[in-house]
Amino acid sequence: MRSRAERVERTELEIPTGRFIEIRVGPSCRVFHVHEHTLRASSTFFDAAMSNGWKESRERVVNLPKDDPDVFAKYVFWIYRNQLATRTTYDNWDYEDKPEYMTLAELFVLGEKLQDASFKNDVVDAITKKRRLEGHQICWAPIGFLSRYLYKNTVSGSAIRFAGPMIRVDVGPDRKAFFVHEQLLRNVSRFFDAVTRNDWKESTERVVPLPVDDPDVFSLFVGWLYNCKFSTKNDVGGAEGNREYVMLAKLYVLGDKLQATGFKHSVIDAILGKTVAPLQPTNHHWHPLGSVIRYLYESTPPASPARCLLVDLYVYHGQGNWLTTHATDEDVTRDFLLDLSVALRDGRSRSDSAIDPKELAKSGQYHE
């Protein structure tokens, strides 16, 4: 396959020749004829489809029934012209710029499907270079439906999720600096979306201070932002296992502060994952104890899903020594004992499989 530089030179200086491929796009099968060599030089998808004796190679027809013909037409334009059919200045942000961003998002998703790295790079460049008429950088702000579209149609680690500038977050009393892609933060956190969207000090200086937060906890949050997962040791019990539950509790509280609902859901799922994972070699299960109760009850509001999960775990799986041997008087807060007593008085018990937290979680019981 020829390099991007080779392809650029060829399309600017030569008239494409050679055989065509017929591409039928969308439910109505809109037909495009594109030079085979030009297409295969850019797209790994088309290169594979037209090799190895596949049906598409024999019939010289490729069907893309689920794709948008108008979006594909822009891809064909780029194939031959080495430029995107988009504009960079607008007279009216509300009516012209938003659809343009959506088009660029659709082009990037198409580029991922067609495995065309050069095309995707050009789309990302177009996004980051777009400016409003008055000259202020848009900074690629796919809010609402646009964010949902991109995250639904791209994989974790996709470049489009990281398009645009970064902001600095200073965490803890020593102001440990974290540099994070702005849009990635705004997509998951209403807190960061608010402080970076308006003419607040944080927005203009591009620095967000979190002086009372723990850098180690925030570091795990940043890791989740980029990897969409936690590194938990599900098969560890005892003091080490409980320390990990404490860390997960701190992550949940951070998610509450940052108004990051999806992140909190992931933390809840990680807690549940630890409770159902058997320890080796005993095959026993380890649940959150003592200091986990105190921390969550001191740091979350009444009726918090995290509190509800703790109570249900103690109702369904709990043993007396969880409260006597594995917890101090300070750990077992009054509010927790009240919630636990109410749950037991309501008739919930471990004999009722309907209140098994593992089963309740399947219906989103502990998600907001």
For residue 36, give the amino acid letter.
E
**Per-residue pLDDT averaged across 149-157, rounded?**
70
169 and 51 in a common domain: no
- Considering the domain architecture, whether residues 26 and 88 belong to the same structural domain is answered as yes
Residue 157 is assigned to a structural domain of this protein = no
pLDDT digits (tens, 9 = 90+) for 124-144: 777 766 543 333 333 444 444
| Nearest alpha carbon to residue 290 among 253, 255, 331, 318 | 331
Residue 255 lies in a domain: yes
Confidence of residue 354 (pLDDT cuts 50, 70, 90): low
DSSP 234: T
Residues 186, 273, single domain; the answer is no
Q: State the chain's mean pLDDT as an integer.
A: 77
Cα of 128 vs its chain's centroid, Å: 19
Which helix (H) or strand (E) segment holds residue 41: the answer is helix 36-42
Look at residue 264 and tell me whether its pLDDT is greater than 90: yes
Q: Of the spans 153-162, 299-308, 322-331, which averages the highest pLDDT?
A: 299-308
Query: Is residue 62 very low, low, confident or very high in pLDDT (cuts 50, 70, 90)?
Result: very high
Query: Residue 284 pLDDT more than 60?
Result: yes
pTM: 0.59
**Residues 292, 182 within the same domain:** no
What percent of the chain has a predicted confidence (pLDDT) above 90?
Answer: 24
Q: In what order do the strands lie in the sheet with 166-171?
A: 176-181, 166-171, 207-210
Whether residue 367 lies inside any domain: the answer is no
Verify that 216 and 242 share a domain, yes or no. no
Per-residue CA distances from 244 to 90, 233, 234, 257, 316 (Å) = 51, 8, 9, 20, 21
Expressed as residue numbers, the domain containing 62 is: 4-134
Confidence of residue 275 (pLDDT cuts 50, 70, 90): confident
Q: How far is CA 235 from CA 238, 240, 271, 318, in A?
A: 10, 10, 12, 19
Of the residues 90, 111, 134, the one at which a domain ends? 134
Q: In terms of domains, do 234 and 218 share one?
A: no
Q: Is residue 91 part of a domain?
A: yes
- pLDDT category at 67 given cuts 50, 70, 90 is very high
Residue 265 lies in a domain: yes
Q: Is the pLDDT of residue 218 over 90?
A: yes
Nearby residues of 270 by Cβ (< 8 Å), 6 or more positions away? 230, 232, 248
CATH number at residue 9: 3.30.710.10
Q: Does residue 159 form part of some domain?
A: no
Is 269 found in the same domain as 216?
A: no
Is the per-residue pLDDT at 28 higher than 80?
A: yes
The DSSP string of 210-222 is ETTS-HHHHHHHH
**If pLDDT is split at 50, 70 and 90, which confidence band does 90 have?**
very low
Residue 278 and residue 196 share a domain: no
Question: Could you give the CA distance from residue 123 to residue 103 in angstroms, rounded to a whole number?
Answer: 10
Count of domains for the chain: 3
- 261 and 324 co-located in one domain: yes
Residue 63 sits at φ, ψ, to 5 deg, of -100, 130
Identify whether residues 17 and 88 lie together within a single domain: yes
Q: Using an 8 Å Cβ cutoff, are 313 and 264 in contact?
A: no
Percent of the chain with pLDDT over 70: 71
Instruction: Identify whether residues 276 and 304 lie together within a single domain.
Output: yes
Residue 316: inside a domain: yes
